[in-house]
A and B are shown apart, each in its own frame.
Chain A
Amino acid sequence: MRTTPVRLVSVLTAAALLAAACTGGDSVLDAGNDDPPETAAPVTTPTVSEPSGSAPDSEVDSTPDQPDAEPDDTAPPETVGPTTTIAPLADLPPCPVEALDAADGPVSITFWHAMANELETALVDLVAGYNSSQDRVQVTLQNQTAYESAIDKYIAGGVGSRPDIVQLPEYVVQAFAQSGTFVPMQACIEAADFDMGPILPRIADTYVFEGIQWAMPFNTSGPVLYFNRQMFEAAGLDPDDPPVSLEELRAASQQLVDSGAAGFGIALDSGRDSGGGWFFEQWFGRAGEPFADNGNGRIAPATEVLFDNDLGLELLTYLQDMTASGLAVTVGDNSGGQDTFFKMIAQDAPAASTIATSAAISSVVAALGSGVAEGLTPDDIGVGPMPGPSDTPSAQPGGASIWIPAGKSDEVTAAAWDFTTYLAAAQTQSTWAAATGYVPMRSDAVELDPIAALYAADPRYRVAYDQLLPTVDDASAVVPALGPLREIRAQTADAVAATYAGGNVEQILADAAAASNALITTYNSQN
């Protein structure tokens, strides 16, 4: 009874294995593309009525800093050719901000977030404060444990199982804006005449796609340099003047290693959300170069990445030289985000510094305060701007934002907007930033306690905020908006890891760009 199906399956599998052995290996991303690749797919470079052919220099469409100055249907539709799928704001789900007035009794909404540990405690406090401050809306928090889980669950669920409000990271902007499942935040901003003026332009622009503000920034962070002040002093470096450019970092590392103050000048990694992806994009921004075409993918969907150029080559060569010469050490993929910090407190050959998100500052201070590293107190860790390919501190905002899913009742959407305005308020931002180490997204929040007091008492917390202040009026002000940005970061992470392993950087960069462009082509043909 067993034999027949078993025999059938074994024959089939053997045939498949044989077929596998006989065919050359292609990428799985080409699977099913037997027909000529659909390169002529819907999205081609749109005709933007701005400086022709100068995507790298063209401006990111201005965000609604002054909503009243921007009539309803101005956004980009008229400026972009017919081949794209931009919907004018009027065609997108509306935001009935007044509906809350008509509701009988308090409206309950659920909020999906991805904040853990100290961050979750701070968020719980914020929400409790909101719930008790008024009687029209009651917010229930649902912890999704990580951005990835929130994203997966949001995608997998239907309208009914989606939350009324959700926190999502900056790298999903294009994919989620194009999903057609959200009320654009701009609709609410315009309907309520909400003043975006005090919000730092670079932070607001991070959530703009095709000229529409899709989400409200909430928790903002940026990469900063963490360094061991004791080691800097021992090496004869000034701990109050950490390296800002990559060349200064190289010189400081040389001094740290030569003096024997540290085993390595800096611990680097090849993680997607750090050295292999996010920082690589950041360095392009720092140098004032776009990472992708069509204004870093902000004006219209990008059609290709631009990192396979002199700057890309320069950056990878720098990383390779730093590790090969023993000035820097790589900890690998750093998937938990802690390995670079652990390298700073290793018994043998510790590193004197690392680059990591500013959001880690409260955890680092807490860990050192608990005595995790012998002889190191929280005051021994210094924070400086992210070193990058320029002499001026500057960084692109990262972090996450608040999105309002569409398809809910008017009361629920209005309640979600009301809660959003609370999260975006100056006092909330001040409290939140002080409790977490995130950067307040508004300039007026910085003047309010508790963050004003914290910044005065401990300037380390202010570094991430200050480096977001420089105004950059081109596409490099913000991280690229790319549909498959997550997968593209995996490609650059592979490239950075291969660079550390000693590969040929030109080839590595070309391969990563080709793979990224294939991902973009596939994405554009599917969306």
Chain B
Amino acid sequence: MLAPSAFILGLFIVYPLGRAVWLGQQRCNAFGDQCRSNGFDQYLDIFTSNEFQSALRATIILTVITVPLGLFLGVGLAVLADKHLRGVGFFRTAFSSTIATSVAVASLMWLFLLQPSVGALANIDWINSLFPVIKDPGLLQDPDTALPSVAMSSVWAGLGFTFILVTASLQGVPRELHEAAAVDGATGTMRFWKITVPLLAPTLIFVVIVLTTRAFQTFGEVDLLTNGGPRPGNSTTTITYFVYGEASVIASDPGLQAGGAVLLFVILLFLSGLQLRGLGRRTDLG
């Protein structure tokens, strides 16, 4: 009975994974037809290389910005839009609209907003006199602001997803609990922390895990906004861009690319495990 699914799993998951792990200890030419096995300590070489460490650092910074900010904004907007007011439907639609926007479209929109010569942001006087970097050299061109700017675009694009999940979950919170607490004199803030947040916990854990995984796999934004740059230093080259980006230093070496991809897999496996363990223990997620 298991045979068909085992076959499909084997063909599409296990075999490619095994191939990638094997390829990751090889160095190959661009066509991949001449490869040399170097043994599995090549993974350690890749992991400890300047380029991978720099990509890991960029990925961690991106995660540290996008996950809390995405969660905070998503929950905040969902709570605001959870009121029974006239016209709230419009705001719900607006707040969730980014889910219908692909990463490519969102990135191109940000690219033109942030363009330092003719972009919308660069030509609003009070903004660019407050932040001259917007014009010279440009948020995406300055090594210090490029990564936070990419993160901003990523947060914006991911907001609809968080908003919809949290909104759905909020609607499952029984009104009676809030009413009973209010009768007992609990303030709005107390009710949020003591009732809403605990009941939302399983959703929040799910959102954190998804946002983290998504941050670690960020590719489209980097590819379209900065191409891994700005040079020199390539401060927005994340692990995924390092592995797959066309301007990556290993773009012509399938062995190193596979090695980087397997390392990313291991890191994500570790992080997901850690999150499920750490966060799951404090809820009744099961």
Q: Which residues of A contact B (CB under 8 A)?
A: 2-3, 5-6, 9-10, 12-13, 16, 19-20, 23, 25-34, 148, 152, 155, 175, 179, 181, 270, 272, 276, 330-333, 335-336, 339, 342-343, 345-348, 350, 484, 486-487, 490, 493-498, 501, 522-523, 526-527
B19 in the interface (beta carbon within 8 A)? no
A16 CA to B28 CA, complexed, in Å: 24
B277 in the interface (beta carbon within 8 A)? yes
Q: What is the distance, in angstroms, from A407's C-beta to the closest C-beta of chain B? A: 14
Tell me which of B52, B53, B232, B253 contacts A501 (CB under 8 A): B232
B262-275 Cβ-contact flags toward A at 8 Å (1 or 0) = 00001101100110
Determine the chain A residues whose CB is within 8 A of the CB of B111 once the complex forms: 336
A32 touches B231 (CB 8 A): no
When C-beta atoms are compared, the residue in chain A nearest to B118 turns out to be A342
Determine the chain A residues whose CB is within 8 A of the CB of B269 once the complex forms: 9
Determine the chain A residues whose CB is within 8 A of the CB of B10 once the complex forms: none
10 of the cross-chain contacts (CB-CB < 8 Å) are A28-B250, A28-B256, A31-B46, A32-B27, A179-B31, A333-B141, A486-B251, A490-B247, A526-B28, A526-B29
A107 CA to B223 CA, complexed, in Å: 39
Determine the chain A residues whose CB is within 8 A of the CB of B274 once the complex forms: 6, 10
When C-beta atoms are compared, the residue in chain A nearest to B141 turns out to be A332
Q: What is the distance, in angstroms, from A23's C-beta to the closest C-beta of chain B? A: 5
When C-beta atoms are compared, the residue in chain B nearest to A495 turns out to be B232
B44 in the interface (beta carbon within 8 A)? yes
B256 touches A31 (CB 8 A): yes
B273 touches A6 (CB 8 A): yes
| Closest A-B pairs by Cβ, 5 of them | A32-B38, A497-B231, A28-B49, A332-B141, A6-B273
Determine the chain B residues whose CB is within 8 A of the CB of A494 once the complex forms: 231-232
A30 CA to B250 CA, complexed, in Å: 11
A30 touches B49 (CB 8 A): yes
Which residues B117-139 have CB closer than 8 A to chain A? 117-118, 123, 135, 137-138
Determine the chain A residues whose CB is within 8 A of the CB of B267 once the complex forms: 13
Determine the chain B residues whose CB is within 8 A of the CB of A345 once the complex forms: 117-118
A9 CA to B267 CA, complexed, in Å: 9
B266 touches A9 (CB 8 A): yes
Tell me which of B50, B229, B266, B277 contacts A28 (CB under 8 A): B50
B38 touches A34 (CB 8 A): yes
A175 CA to B34 CA, complexed, in Å: 13
Q: What is the distance, in angstroms, from A216's C-beta to the closest C-beta of chain B? A: 22
B246 in the interface (beta carbon within 8 A)? yes
Q: What is the distance, in angstroms, from B223's C-beta to the closest C-beta of chain A? A: 9
B270 touches A9 (CB 8 A): yes
| A155-B232 contact in complex given A16-B44, A34-B41, C-beta closer than 8 Å | no
A472 CA to B253 CA, complexed, in Å: 35
Determine the chain B residues whose CB is within 8 A of the CB of A486 once the complex forms: 251-252
| A28-B117 contact in complex given A23-B48, A34-B38, A526-B28, C-beta closer than 8 Å | no
B230-273 Cβ-contact flags toward A at 8 Å (1 or 0) = 11100000000000001101111101100100000011011001
Determine the chain A residues whose CB is within 8 A of the CB of B63 once the complex forms: none
Tell me which of A3, A27, A181, A346 contacts B50 (CB under 8 A): A27
A138 CA to B44 CA, complexed, in Å: 52
A347 touches B123 (CB 8 A): yes
B49 touches A26 (CB 8 A): yes
Tell me which of B30, B48, B256 contacts A175 (CB under 8 A): B30
Determine the chain A residues whose CB is within 8 A of the CB of B46 once the complex forms: 28, 31
B142-167 Cβ-contact flags toward A at 8 Å (1 or 0) = 00000000000000000000000000
Determine the chain A residues whose CB is within 8 A of the CB of B44 once the complex forms: 16, 19
Determine the chain A residues whose CB is within 8 A of the CB of B48 once the complex forms: 19-20, 23, 25-26
Q: Which residues of B contact A (CB under 8 A)?
A: 25-32, 34, 36, 38-39, 41-42, 44-53, 111, 115-118, 123, 135, 137-138, 140-141, 226-227, 229-232, 246-247, 249-253, 255-256, 259, 266-267, 269-270, 273-274, 276-277
A28 touches B52 (CB 8 A): yes
A28 touches B30 (CB 8 A): no
B229 touches A342 (CB 8 A): no
Known contacts A28-B51, A331-B116, then 10 further A-B pairs from the complex at CB < 8 Å, ordered by chain A residue: A2-B277, A12-B270, A27-B249, A28-B46, A29-B249, A179-B31, A339-B115, A343-B117, A484-B252, A494-B232
A5 touches B30 (CB 8 A): no
When C-beta atoms are compared, the residue in chain B nearest to A493 turns out to be B231
Q: What is the distance, in angstroms, from B249's C-beta to the closest C-beta of chain A? A: 7
B273 touches A9 (CB 8 A): yes
A32 CA to B47 CA, complexed, in Å: 12
Determine the chain A residues whose CB is within 8 A of the CB of B30 once the complex forms: 155, 175
A342 touches B115 (CB 8 A): yes
| A13-B117 contact in complex given A330-B137, A335-B229, A526-B29, C-beta closer than 8 Å | no
A5 touches B273 (CB 8 A): yes
Determine the chain A residues whose CB is within 8 A of the CB of B135 once the complex forms: 348
B141 touches A32 (CB 8 A): no
A148 CA to B227 CA, complexed, in Å: 13
| A148-B270 contact in complex given A31-B49, A339-B115, A494-B231, C-beta closer than 8 Å | no
A19 CA to B273 CA, complexed, in Å: 21
A16 CA to B141 CA, complexed, in Å: 33
A9 CA to B269 CA, complexed, in Å: 8
Most buried by A among B39, B44, B45, B255: B45
Determine the chain A residues whose CB is within 8 A of the CB of B273 once the complex forms: 2, 5-6, 9-10
Determine the chain B residues whose CB is within 8 A of the CB of A331 once the complex forms: 116-117, 137-138, 141
A12 CA to B138 CA, complexed, in Å: 41
Q: What is the distance, in angstroms, from A61's C-beta to the closest C-beta of chain B? A: 24
A335 touches B226 (CB 8 A): yes
Q: What is the distance, in angstroms, from A325's C-beta to the closest C-beta of chain B? A: 16
Determine the chain A residues whose CB is within 8 A of the CB of B47 once the complex forms: 16, 19-20
Q: What is the distance, in angstroms, from B19's C-beta to the closest C-beta of chain A? A: 14
B49 touches A276 (CB 8 A): no
Q: What is the distance, in angstroms, from A240's C-beta to the closest C-beta of chain B? A: 27
When C-beta atoms are compared, the residue in chain A nearest to B272 turns out to be A6
Determine the chain B residues whose CB is within 8 A of the CB of A487 once the complex forms: 249, 251-252
When C-beta atoms are compared, the residue in chain B nearest to A267 turns out to be B117
Determine the chain B residues whose CB is within 8 A of the CB of A20 once the complex forms: 47-48, 53
Most buried by B among A155, A494, A501, A526: A526
Tell me which of A3, A333, A484 contacts B230 (CB under 8 A): A333
When C-beta atoms are compared, the residue in chain A nearest to B255 turns out to be A32
Q: What is the distance, in angstroms, from A220's C-beta to the closest C-beta of chain B? A: 23
Q: What is the distance, in angstroms, from A498's C-beta to the closest C-beta of chain B? A: 4
| A527-B45 contact in complex given A26-B50, A330-B137, A335-B229, C-beta closer than 8 Å | no
A394 CA to B226 CA, complexed, in Å: 32
Determine the chain A residues whose CB is within 8 A of the CB of B251 once the complex forms: 486-487
Determine the chain A residues whose CB is within 8 A of the CB of B45 once the complex forms: 26, 28, 30-32, 34
Tell me which of B246, B253, B256 contacts A148 (CB under 8 A): B246
A6 touches B277 (CB 8 A): yes
B117 touches A342 (CB 8 A): yes
Q: What is the distance, in angstroms, from B276's C-beta to the closest C-beta of chain A? A: 7
When C-beta atoms are compared, the residue in chain B nearest to A497 turns out to be B231
A31 CA to B26 CA, complexed, in Å: 9
Determine the chain B residues whose CB is within 8 A of the CB of A2 once the complex forms: 273, 276-277
A523 touches B29 (CB 8 A): yes
Q: What is the distance, in angstroms, from A24's C-beta to the closest C-beta of chain B? A: 8
